[in-house]
Amino acid sequence: MASENHSGCLKVTVALAGLCGSLLYLINFGAGVVEIIPDNLPIVGNLDEVVASLVLFACLRALGLSVPGLNAK
């Protein structure tokens, strides 16, 4: 039972770290200086923001928070 508690704690910790990291990337404190893929590239320029958004939504779901419109079956 103790290992279940550790794995649950690890899951929450990883989800919170992913949530914070994706939020910081999307808020973009660096004003575009720190970007994985520059936004001015055609078609692929915004893929890094899409991935950060997917990480954000996955972390919210892992923490048990519902995102309206995403939890529809």
Q: Is residue 57 part of a domain?
A: yes
Q: In this predicted model, what pLDDT tens digit does every residue of 4-48 receive, in sequence order? A: 667 788 999 999 999 999 998 888 766 666 677 777 788 887 888
Q: What is the 3-state secondary structure (H, E, C) of 7-69?
A: HHHHHHHHHHHHHHHHHHHHHCCCCCCCCCCCCCCCCCCCHHHHHHHHHHHHHHHHCCCCCCC
Q: Is residue 40 part of a domain?
A: yes
Q: Is residue 70 part of a domain?
A: no
Q: Is residue 67 part of a domain?
A: no
Model pLDDT, residue 3: 60
Q: Is residue 41 part of a domain?
A: yes
Supply angle C-alpha 18, 25, 7, rounded to 5: 5
pTM of the model: 0.75
Model pLDDT, residue 44: 84
Q: How many domains does the chain have?
A: 1
Determine the structural domain holding residue 48 and report its residue range. Answer: 2-62
